[in-house]
A and B are shown apart, each in its own frame.
Chain A
Amino acid sequence: MKNIVIIARRELAAYFATPLAYVFIVTFLAGAGAVTFFMGDFFGRRQADLQAFFSFHPWLFLVLIPAVGMRLWAEERKSGTIELLMTLPVTTTEAVAGKFVAAWLFTGIALVLTFPIWISVNYLGDPDNGVIVASYVGSFLMAGALLALASCLSALTRNQVIAFVIAAAASFLFLMSGLDLVLGLVRSWAPSYVIDMISSLSFLTHFLTIADGVLPLPAIVFFLSMIAVCLFINAQIVELKKAS
């Protein structure tokens, strides 16, 4: 546990040591603000809520989360510091968890920094703050699951650009797997339980159940187990790939 904290601290500091952190945060805030107030027809609907803001999160995450996750292991392998890290007295699991926690906290910071939007809607009207809190938690959980996926995939390569591209593609599939766009591809030949399984892996479907208001337990369990599974695979990949 102590080691996870130490690694996470170092990793979080590394995010802020590069311009990437600021680019990410500014992009996220600008994107979130723009979509909430303009694209989401915030003023036209004459309704003080953050529905447009939250429904835009999956699409923002689709690009931004792979950008945060791509460096986690790819950079470590490229610079050779993985040899330093993995010969320190820490387990692979601790290293994987520490790095993930840092990246997740970083996205958490970006989410927290959207609070002016929340204050604005409270100033302009009388929103259901319970729904907003639940949506923030849901958004954070979904970001975590996407990050775990990105972290896992970044261990496959030493090239950050490749890590970004495959993470973005995988995120897209996992987000969309509940929609007909993806299901249509398998519906013609796969048995129905496969289709049900694929659609139950959809991040978007689970996220939308949260955004509806209360925090449904299945969605929470889904995102947390998604994180656990991805990080477990992540550790296996790190072990396997060290050798090559």
Chain B
Amino acid sequence: MADLIEVESLSKRFGAIVAVDDVSFSVARGVVMGFLGPNGAGKSTTMRVITGYLPPTSGTARVLGKDIQRSPVEVKRSIGFLPEGAPLYGDMTVMAFLEFIARIRDVHGVRRQQRIQYSIERMGLEQVLYQRIETLSKGFKRRVGFAQAILHDPDVLILDEPTDGLDPNQKHHVRELIRELGKNKAIIISTHILEEVDAVCDRAVIIDRGRVVMNGTPSELHAKSRRYNSVVVRVKADVAPKAAKLLRGLPHVTAVESSAPVNGSVPLVVVPRDGRFIADEVGIAVRQNGIEVDEMHTQVVHLDEVFRQLTVGQEKPLR
């Protein structure tokens, strides 16, 4: 399937600051791409260039095959954009604002009513329709920003931190909506919530200091973790050294990490070589050597950990 969004060697400099550095990726129809990276990595800047707000310093992007610099208005027509922080015209009511967006996006006639109604329903805006936007709570503002982005049923959605500031119900709801819309659109969402990548994304691109450090599926991302497929074995404190020594000697194990005992038992994290599946091997070894095991399970890899592994470079940690 053709790629609806193609970003090609895109760079954006602000004076001496290189915000985006030679970034390339593409997103096909039916794909939700998660865009990750630490603060200041260049996510919002990349989105601003794709949506035609900022001109690139070099490189380019195409949306539905159209170059963002050569046909900016056409590109903008096919994109729904939720900018960072969801800026909105505070002096308007929600309804007046959505009508303004529908007009300027050339959604007219019966379809205008239908699309406005659809956005209102999907974002649960019924009870705030005639309230001025500046008087809305943060989460509702975000929802109005989202409603605005999907109003014209665009082929491409670019959402900068869409679930930021939403309550857990709304987060869940918005993720479901993104999943649903993602079936026949190309969507990019930026987020700091890594479970969101597992929950909604088909692809993940991580950038750090303007450069792409990883581009793959969420499971490939998991596999990047050093602790991928690790097995946790809890044993009594007194047999822990013996068990650790035994497990370290197994052929497909690189390391065994132990931590402080909890209620007299020590969790040993058995890290495999090259992310191999080692649960069998570990199970057999402890049984054959008569080591009493309190608990054994495969370690769940948190994406946060992978994220840190990939992006904590030379940057100084916060104090």
Contacts and interface: CB of A to CB of B under 8 A. Distances in A.
Contacts, number: 68
A84 B104 contact: no
17 contacts: A81-B87, A83-B48, A83-B83, A84-B88, A84-B89, A86-B52, A87-B53, A87-B79, A87-B83, A88-B105, A89-B76, A89-B77, A89-B105, A91-B72, A91-B73, A242-B53, A242-B54
Contacts of B81: 84, 87
A243 interface: yes
Interface of B: 14, 48, 51-55, 72-74, 76-77, 79, 81, 83, 85, 87-92, 96, 100-101, 103-106, 132, 148
Interface in A76-107: 79-81, 83-84, 86-91
A10 B89 contact: yes
Contact of B100 (A6, A80, A83, A86): A6
B92 A14 contact: yes
A1 to B, nearest CB: 13
B89 A87 contact: no
Q: Which 6 A-B pairs have the closest CB atoms?
A: A80-B87, A17-B91, A89-B77, A89-B76, A83-B83, A87-B51
Nearest to A10: B100
Range of interface residues on A (Cβ < 8 Å): 20 to 34
B103 A81 contact: no
Contact of B104 (A6, A81, A243): A6
Nearest to A16: B91
Given A17-B92, A79-B90, A244-B14, A90 B83 contact: no
Interface of A: 3, 6-7, 9-10, 13-14, 17-18, 79-81, 83-84, 86-91, 242-244
Nearest to B158: A87
Given A3-B104, A86-B53, A88-B104, 19 more contacts: A6-B100, A6-B103, A7-B104, A10-B92, A13-B92, A13-B96, A14-B92, A79-B90, A80-B87, A83-B87, A84-B148, A88-B101, A89-B73, A89-B76, A89-B104, A89-B105, A90-B104, A242-B53, A243-B55
A80 B84 CA distance: 9
